Structures are given as structure tokens and as C-alpha cells.
Amino acid sequence: MSQQQALMNWSGGKDSALALYHSLLSGRWNITTLLTNVNEQYSRVSMHGVRTELMEAQADRLGIPLRFMRLSGNVSMAEYNVQMQITLQELQQQGITHSIFGDIFLEDLRLYRETQLQRVNLIGEFPLWKRNTTELIHEFVDLGFRAVLVCINEKQLSSEFIGRELDLDLLKDLPKNVDPCGENGEYHSFVYDGPVFSSPVLFTKGEVVRRMYTSSDNTDQSDAKWDIGFWYQDLLLQA
């Protein structure tokens, strides 16, 4: 069976790591690129604030080239869509035909992704789609993946969870209203070891920071009013 060229949408967290594992195991894909959105001003991943040098360390141990899509801190959704389309067009012109995601059950998010991909003639792939999230966490741990929580939504988890190891003890401690995989945005993780890594990413824990975001930060000027706090665990790459 001939392999098709694919990119992996890489957050550095457990879902993208597990989706990558299954994609490689299937033998269907030649994954040529990891694609990550970063805040250009701070050189950190837009989603959870992990430093770009840790993402580069992951890519080095995965043996897959990493491409950053650099965005301003106050990018609007419209601007994001334009930048993403430009990036995907460039990758499509390099021979990539498929885009792989670690999404599990958010229907609206999948529809959004597939709509964006159709504009540049790419096909979305979702290896974890509709899997049971409790089973996924057990599989993640059983396979030997190691990760820590680097961002949590304080409306759903207390600050005591930030920086914790993502293991079965953590799963037992999660409130019942929290999805085991954090699929609703309850938490984000950083994977530092696992069966797809040639060696662990060594790091030390830095400071813990709380940041509050309000509807005034919403550059799309929507009518929705909201405020939400997040806790972030900084990680420092060891040489």
C-alpha cells in the first residue's frame, strides 16, 4: 500500500501524540510536517503557552520537521483563517494531501476544520474520532506516554492540578463534570516521552502563572460577554 503525504496538526499534547501514534501505526501516511500555531511575540504555543524550544525538542525526538504558523497575540478569527489558508496552500503545493487532527468528539470543530481544508483541496483525518475518552487516557498511559498538565481552565479545575503528571491517579481525581481527555478545554498537556519519541524531552518546571481573559479580549467583537481564568505551568528545556 502506497503512503499518502500528510501533515500532523501538532499541539504537543496527549491527543495529538496519540493521533500521531495511530497514524504512524496504520502505515497509511508519510507524515512530513508537524504544524503548530505560536504567539509570535512570546514564542510560545498559542493554545497553552509552552515555549517553542520544547516543541522543537519534541520534533527532534519524533524525527519529523516542525513548522510554526506565527500569529500575533490579538489575531482575529478572520485573520487566523487567512493565515491558515496561506499556510495550507503552501503545504498542499509541496504534495501534502491530508491533514491529521487529534479531535475526539466536538462536531462543530470538526466541521470548521473540514470546511477550511476543502478550500485548499486537503482531506481531514481524525484517528481518535468518537473513541471513549476514558479508554483513550488508559491507552495513553498503558502505551508508555508521559505528559504534564501545562494549562487548566479554572472554571473547571482548581489550580492544584497545574503541573501534575497525566496519569491514572490524575484521572481518579478529576471532577465528574470534566472530560477525562479535557476535550472541552478543561486542560492542556505537554507530552515529554512515549513510544514515538527516540528519547525523553528533559525539562524543569518554572513559575506558575494565572491569566484572566475577558470579552474585551475578543477581537471579533461578538456580542457574547465572558471572562475566564487560566493557570499556566512554565516548562524550561534542559540542555
Pairing label, strands 203-214, 98-100:
unpaired
What mean pLDDT comes out for the span 148-164? 97
Residues whose CB falls within 8 Å of the CB of residue 172, separated by 6 or more in sequence, listed in order: none
List domains and CATH numbers for the chain: 4-237 (3.40.50.620)
Are 232 and 189 spatial neighbours (Cβ–Cβ below 8 Å)?
no
> What is d(CA 178, CA 162) in angstroms, rounded to the nearest whole number?
15
Encode pLDDT of 55-88 as tens digits.
999 999 999 999 999 998 788 899 999 999 999 9
Residues whose CB falls within 8 Å of the CB of residue 65, separated by 6 or more in sequence, listed in order: 32, 33, 34, 59
- Residue 219's pLDDT band, with cuts at 50, 70 and 90, is very low
